[in-house]
Amino acid sequence: MDQLLKGKVAIVTGGTRGIGYAIVKKYIQEGATVVLCGSRESTAQEALAKVKAEFPEAVVDALAPDLTSIESVNKAFAYVKEKFGSVDVVANNAGISQNIPLEKYTEEDIDKIIAVNIKAVFVCSQAAANIMKEQENGGVIINTSSMVSKNGQPSGCAYPASKFAVNGFTKSLARELGKYKIRVNAVAPGITRTDMLAVLPDAMIQPLIKNIPLGRVGEPEDIANAYAFLASDMASFITGDILSVDGGSVV
Q: Just list the catalytic residues.
A: 159
| Eight-state DSSP code of residue 233 | G
38 binds ligand NAD per the rule CB under 6 A: yes
194 binds ligand NAD per the rule CB under 6 A: yes
For ligand NAD, give the closer residue by CB, 19 or 76. 19
The CA distance from 85 to 89, in Å, is 13
Helix axes 158-177, 107-114, angle to 10 degrees: 30
The CA distance from 136 to 121, in Å, is 24
141 binds ligand NAD per the rule CB under 6 A: no
232 binds ligand NAD per the rule CB under 6 A: no
The CA distance from 88 to 80, in Å, is 10
The CA distance from 222 to 241, in Å, is 18
For ligand NAD, give the closer residue by CB, 178 or 200. 200
Which stretch in 93-101, 125-133, 171-179, 207-215 sits in contact with ligand NAD by CB under 6 A?
A: 93-101
192 binds ligand NAD per the rule CB under 6 A: yes
191 binds ligand NAD per the rule CB under 6 A: yes
How many residues sit in the footprint of ligand NAD (CB under 6 A)? 24
Q: Give the nearest distance from C-beta 29 to ligand NAD in angstroms.
A: 18
Per-residue H/E/C for 33-55: EEEEECCCHHHHHHHHHHHHHHC
Pick one of 4, 5, 11, 16: the residue that binds ligand NAD (CB under 6 A): 16
CA nearest to 57, candidates 36, 33, 21: 33
Q: Give the nearest distance from C-beta 167 to ligand NAD in angstroms.
A: 12
14 binds ligand NAD per the rule CB under 6 A: yes
Q: Write the CB contacts of 77 (distance below 8 Å, at least 6 apart in sequence).
A: 11, 87, 90, 124, 127, 128, 130, 131
Enumerate binding residues for ligand NAD (CB under 6 A).
14, 16-20, 38-39, 67, 93-97, 116, 144, 146, 189, 191-192, 194-197
